Amino acid sequence: MKLKQIFSRDMTILVLGQVISLFGNAIVRFALPLYLLRETNSPSLFGVVTACSFLPMVVFSFLGGGIADRVNKRNIMVALDFATSLLMVGLALALEVLPLVPLLIGVLMLLYGISGAYQPSVQASLPLLVPEEGLVQANALVNMVSTLAGLLGPVVGGVLFGAFGVYPIVLVSALCFFASAVMECFLRIPHNGRPRTDSPLRTVKGDLAESWRFMGREKPNFLRVTLLLALFNLVLSAAIIVGIPIMVVQLLHGSDTQLGLTQGALG
């Protein structure tokens, strides 16, 4: 399929919004834990804050799919990007006022939770924006943007943190999320959401039960692979996400740029 058929007006806006939003998210999620580690010099606190940050992503990833089925996907993306922009502005104002550890735990939990709720809306928008024969390429494009953000975000974040500190990163990320939200306001995504026949909690519970039945009975191999990947992530990702920054910063006395390059290379 020709690229120009995939890059329609709305698909282009969606991808550009993803580039701005995901890179802003990746940079600030790299910089804030590093700032905590530099300020407290405590590996234990660094590990606790990182662990707490991931919990909302797990929860909201489940909820995000059910919400995206029933609410206009453009509105979800716009609202979450505007909310993240306001969160970054609030963080910049509160850094010297509130206790650092609970502040960063709360902000990182919100960032990861927003990210978990955001991505299902993006993925669910693709079948509505590109023809069926271009869906594989569109999915690959969106995933490529996410992967590049994970690879380059720590590198850019390390360079910026080492050169300017945490405040400029927080403010620039606020501008990134704001720009992404404004851009997404011009998206035209057809909305044919499923009707709401029950309370939101029961609806999400029913969606999750239906998904579990589908994986357990109709696609058992998919469930096995998912559980295997979860096991790898449980063991290896924790060592990489928590252990590597502590080794580079405290044992090897590396710079922020060196840590960013290390994280990017690992990605």
Nearest CA-CA partner of 87 in 170, 179, 29, 156: 170
pLDDT for the residue 87: 92
Q: For residue range 62-108, what is the model confidence (pLDDT) as tens digits?
A: 666 667 667 788 888 889 899 999 999 999 998 888 888 888 888 88
Distances (CA, A) of 170 to 28, 31, 86, 176, 239: 7, 9, 11, 10, 26
Banded model confidence at residue 200, pLDDT cuts 50, 70, 90: low
Are 181 and 173 within 8 A, CB to CB? Answer: no
CA-to-CA distance for 8 and 130, rounded, in angstroms? 8
User: What are 190's two structure tokens?
Assistant: 């057809």
Torsion of CA 95, 40, 149, 171, to 10 degrees: 20
For domain 8-190+255-266, say whether CATH 1.20.140.10 is its number. no
Which helix or strand (DSSP H or E) is residue 176 part of? helix 166-184
| Contact between residue 180 and residue 122 where contact means Cβ atoms under 8 Å apart | no
Task: Please tell me the distance from the alpha carbon of residue 111 to that of residue 207, in angstroms, as a whole number.
Answer: 24
**Position 3 confidence tier, pLDDT thresholds 50, 70, 90:** low
pLDDT tens digit string along 206-259?
Answer: 667 777 777 777 777 877 888 888 787 777 777 777 788 888 888 888 888 888
